[in-house]
Amino acid sequence: MKISNKKFIYLISPNKISKSFYRDLNLVLKTGKVGIFQLRLKKYPLKSKILIGKKIREICRKNKVKFLVNDDPKLTIKLNADGCHLGQSDTNIKDARSIIGNKIIGVTCHNSIKLAKFAIKAKASYLAFGAFFPSKTKKTKYLASIKNLKEASKLTRVPLVAIGGINPQNYKKLLLNKAKFLAISSYIWKNKKYEPLKAIEKFR
């Protein structure tokens, strides 16, 4: 998965898609800081996910950003997305691979090197660790550490993704300690102080 080092942000969609979302997404992706965008809509019906996903896919393609779908290999195929992200309670990598072929498959490893080893063995495209900091997006069940990133980087060359409560004050430490991508959602979409474009510009 070759993506330039400048594109270190792995942007996750908000839980709710507003009217201004597509315009904001285009502005945010135009900054050239985002390498991957993940569609993560837990409460929408399939039809809505397909309509929303198709619009997002075109914005991602236009801005040369990889477009992934959360949890759902079948939706990944329907949307002709670049791949999918799997949590530990979702489809396993082998089954997902049989559905989506050689597209990107990323896996949540929480704070576990054991889970990372399973994912490496199953040929995951990237490993996601977190949460590194308390997050507004979802409840923090697992706290990851820099040690997780360092240990995982000795086991594999696949990209490592850090997730959870990442903001302009704490992100550089993760990039300096083997994280290739930083998964960010609420700082961009739920920021009470800045519009999405201004929020992403804080990651310099």
pLDDT digits (tens, 9 = 90+) for 59-82: 999 999 999 999 999 999 999 999
C-beta separation of 168 from 203 below 8 A: yes
The rounded distance, in Å, linking the Cα atoms of 11 and 184 is 5
Q: Which two tokens stand for residue 32?
A: 């050239």
Nearest by Cα to 106 from 187, 37, 6: 37
Residue 2 falls within a domain, yes or no? no
pLDDT band with cut points at 50, 70 and 90 for residue 171? very high
The rounded distance, in Å, linking the Cα atoms of 123 and 30 is 31
Q: Which CATH number goes with the domain that contains 169?
A: 3.20.20.70
Residue 33 falls within a domain, yes or no? yes
Residue 172 falls within a domain, yes or no? yes
The rounded distance, in Å, linking the Cα atoms of 127 and 149 is 10
CA distances from 150 to 68, 113, 194 (A): 26, 10, 33
Q: Mean of the pLDDT values across residues 88-105?
A: 95
Q: Mean of the pLDDT values across residues 156-167?
A: 97
Dihedral sign (CA 84, 94, 86, 132): negative
At 178, the amino acid letter reads K
Residue 134 falls within a domain, yes or no? yes
Residue 118 falls within a domain, yes or no? yes
Domain span at residue 134? 9-201
Residue 44 falls within a domain, yes or no? yes
The rounded distance, in Å, linking the Cα atoms of 28 and 42 is 23
Residue 4 falls within a domain, yes or no? no
The residue assigned the tokens 């709710």 is 16
Mean residue pLDDT of the chain comes to 95
pTM of the entire predicted model: 0.95
The rounded distance, in Å, linking the Cα atoms of 7 and 192 is 25
Residue 113 falls within a domain, yes or no? yes
Q: Mean of the pLDDT values across residues 147-169?
A: 97
pLDDT in tens, 5-56: 689 999 999 999 999 999 999 999 999 999 999 999 999 999 999 999 999 9
* Number of domain units in the chain: 1
CA distances from 157 to 33, 47, 139, 179, 196 (A): 22, 37, 29, 11, 32
